[in-house]
Structure 1
Amino acid sequence: MTKLLNVLLAAAVASSSACTTSSDCGLNGDCVDKTCSCDPAWTGDTCTSLNLIPLSAEAAEDGAYKHGTSTSWGANVAFCDEDNLYHMFVSEMKSNCTLSSWIPNSQITHATSKNISGPYEFRETLFDTFHHNPRLTFDAASGKYLLFMIGGDLDGTEDCSGIPDSDGELYDTRIVYSESASLNGPWTTPSEPLVERGAEDAWDYVVTNPSPIIHSDGTTYLYYRGTPKYWDDDSLLGELPESVGVAVAPHYSGPYTKPFSSPILSYMNEDPFAWFDPSRGYKMLTHGRDDPLNTHYAYSSDGLNWSSGSDVACNANVTLDDGTIKVFKNRERPQIYFDDEGQPAYLFNGVCPDEHYGYAYTLSQPLNKN
Structure 2
Amino acid sequence: NLNGRCVAEKNACECFKGWKGDDCGVLNLLPMPDDITPAYGVIPTADAPGVASWGASLLKDPEEDDLWHMFVSEMDKGCGLDSWGRNSKIVHATAQTAFGPFEKQEELLPLFAHEPTLARVDGGYVIYKIGCADGAITGSNGTGLVGPCTSCANGTTIDSQDTCPAPDQVYERACQDVLFSPTLNGPWKRMNLSFSSWDWARANLGLESHGPVIMPNGTVLTFTRSWGSPAPLPWSAIWLATADSWNGTYHLVGEEPKFVVKQGAATETKSTDGPGPAFQTGMEDTHMFMNGAGYFHALFHTWDDTNVGGHAYSRDGVKWTLSNTTAYTNHVETVGGNEIVYGRRERPHVFLDDEGNPTHLITGVTYPPADFSFTHVQGIGA
Measured against the shorter chain, the TM-score band is: 0.7 to 0.9
2:362 corresponds in structure 1 to 348
Is 1:79–2:71 an aligned residue pair?
no
Q: Residues 242 and 289 of structure 1 are in contact (CA less than 8 Å); yes or no, is this contact kept in structure 2? A: no
Give 1:12's aligned residue: none
1:322 is displaced (CA, Å) by: 2.1
CA distance in 2, matches of 1:316, 1:102: 20
Q: Could you say if the C-alpha distance between residues 35 and 284 of structure 1 is closer, same or farther in structure 2, counting changes exceeding 3 Å?
A: same
SS in 2 for 1:104: helix
**Which residue number corresponds to residue 98 of structure 1?**
80
Residue deviations 1:188-240, cap 9 Å, x none? 1242466897444x2x32342121111122221121122125xxxxxx34362
Contact 2:209–2:225 (CA under 8 A) maintained in structure 1: yes
Q: Distance in 2 between matches of 1:92 and 1:51?
A: 28
Pair 77,255 (structure 1): closer, same or farther in 2 beyond 3 Å:
same
| Pairing of 1:305-316 with structure 2 (within 5 A) | 305-316=319-330
Residues 292 and 125 of structure 1: CA distance in aligned 2, closer, same or farther (over 3 Å):
farther
Q: Does 1:28 align with 2:25?
A: no
Distance 1:196 1:103 in 2: 28
Structure holding more helix per residue: 1
Q: How does 1:1-370 map to 2 (within 5 A)?
A: 26-33=1-8, 34-58=11-35, 61-67=36-42, 68-84=49-65, 85-139=67-121, 142-152=122-132, 153=134, 154=136, 155-159=147-151, 161-164=163-166, 170-173=169-172, 174-192=175-193, 198-200=199-201, 202=202, 204-207=203-206, 208-228=208-228, 236-238=230-232, 240-260=234-254, 261-291=275-305, 293-354=307-368, 358-369=371-382
The TM-score with structure 2 as length reference comes to: 0.80
Q: CA RMSD in A?
A: 2.3
In the TM superposition, what is the alpha-carbon distance from 1:243 to its structure 2 partner? 3.1
The 1:42–1:205 alpha-carbon spacing in structure 2 relative to 1, beyond 3 Å, is same
Kindly indicate whether the alpha-carbon contact (under 8 Å) linking 1:54 and 1:318 is maintained by their aligned counterparts in 2: yes
Contact map agreement 1:175 1:195 (CA 8 A) in 2: no
TM-score (norm 1): 0.82
Structure 2: tracts of 5 or more residues without a match: 43-48, 137-146, 153-162, 255-274
- Asked if structure 1 preserves the Cα contact closer than 8 Å seen for 2:32 and 2:332, the reply is yes
* Separation in 1, partners of 2:280, 2:298: 14
Asked whether the equivalents of residues 198 and 252 of structure 2 are also in contact (C-alpha less than 8 Å), the reply is no
Shift of 1:271: 0.5
Between 1 and 2, higher relative CO (CA 8 Å, sep ≥ 6) is seen in: 2
Q: How far is 1:278 from its partner?
A: 4.3
Distance 2:323 2:111 in 1: 32
Q: Letter of the 2:209 partner, please give it.
A: N
Supply the distance in 2 between the matched residues of 1:48 and 1:312 (Cα, whole angstroms): 7
**Structure 1 residues 355 and 302 mapped into 2: Cα distance closer, same or farther (>3 Å)?**
farther
Q: Given that residues 70 and 95 in structure 1 are in contact (C-alpha distance below 8 angstroms), is that contact kept between their aligned partners in structure 2?
A: no
Opposite residue 188 of structure 2, the aligned amino acid is W
Q: Distance in 2 between matches of 1:311 and 1:125?
A: 38
Residue 324 of structure 1, CA deviation: 1.8
Task: Supply the distance in 2 between the matched residues of 1:205 and 1:51 (Cα, whole angstroms).
Answer: 36
Q: Report the alpha carbon displacement of residue 312 of structure 1 after superposing the two structures with TM.
A: 0.8
State the alpha-carbon separation in 1 of the partners of residues 224 and 77 from structure 2: 28
- Number of residue equivalences: 328
Distance 1:206 1:113, change over 3 A: same
* Deviation, structure 1 residue 74: 1.1
Write the deviation string for residues 268-303 of structure 1: whole angstroms up to 9, x where unpaired: 221111011241410001110254641111000111
User: Is contact 1:134–1:147 with CA below 8 Å preserved after alignment?
Assistant: yes
Identity, in percent, stands at 31
Partner Cα distance (2:165, 2:204) in 1: 17
Moved more, 109-118 or 292-301: 292-301
Q: Within 2, Cα distance between the matches of 1:162 and 1:196? A: 36
C-alpha spacing 1:143/1:270, structure 2 compared with 1 (3 Å): same
Instruction: Tell me the SS of whatever aligns to 2:97.
Output: coil
